[in-house]
Amino acid sequence: MMHGKRPSGHRGRTGRSAILHPSQGNNETIENTKCTGYREAMSERTKRFAALGLDYVVILGWMATLGVISAVIFLVRGELPDTMGTLGPWGSEVLYFFLLTFVVGFYLYKGESGANHATWGKRKIGLVVRGRDGSIPSKMQILLRTVVKLAPWETAHLFIWQMMDVFHREGWEAMPPVWIFVGLNAASAAAVVYIVMVFATGRGPHDLVARTVVQLRTKPVD
């Protein structure tokens, strides 16, 4: 049996795969870093929507409370108060603003301006609101953030009350003017823009205006 040397120019598959050009290794490191950063960003955005879902449970709880109160009033009086007839569309708008939107806004503001800088939903998911530079946001930033966040919601309520005023005066068969439908569609479109921006960039209009970000909490909540 003859044993000859393998030609020096020949390398096995293991040898070829084991030797990497330095630039190839750097490229793989960069790609791995990009993938990790992308996964972390998507994780934060997914958690943000999960936190929103939990907060909405709280909001629905308050809405259910208002529903129960309305039901009790109806059972006692046999009818609900005619706010449209007594207060008109603008008075009704103000009344239900304080009954619903203001309460929701107070809940959001109180949580994000408090010691944890997060609503109940954000705390449960492990998120926190920070300034764009990572600093603790001021109360004014949180107030501005809350107002801008709820603006499309309350704008939709405004046009709904204007529509209800038309029905109240002219009957359910009446056709509300076009500007009411335009306003409702604009408010709905704004809400969609908010959601798309948060999912695509991690920051909605309320974040941009208030110069805030929502990020993963680095320290556990007490």
User: Half-sphere exposure (CA, 13 Å, Cβ side) for 4?
Assistant: 3
Q: What are the residues whose beta carbons fall under 8 Å from the beta carbon of 161, sequence distance 6 or more?
A: 89, 90, 92, 93, 96
pTM for this predicted structure: 0.78
Q: What is the pLDDT of residues 89-144, one digit of tens each?
A: 999 999 999 999 999 999 999 999 999 999 999 999 999 999 999 999 999 999 99
Percent over 90 (pLDDT), the chain: 71
> What is the arithmetic mean of pLDDT over 148-153?
96
- When the pLDDT of each residue in the chain is averaged and rounded to a whole number, the result is 85
Q: Is the pLDDT of residue 33 over 60?
A: no
**Helix and strand totals (H; E) in the chain:** 8, 2
> 31 or 160: whose pLDDT is higher?
160
User: Are 178 and 163 spatial neighbours (Cβ–Cβ below 8 Å)?
Assistant: no
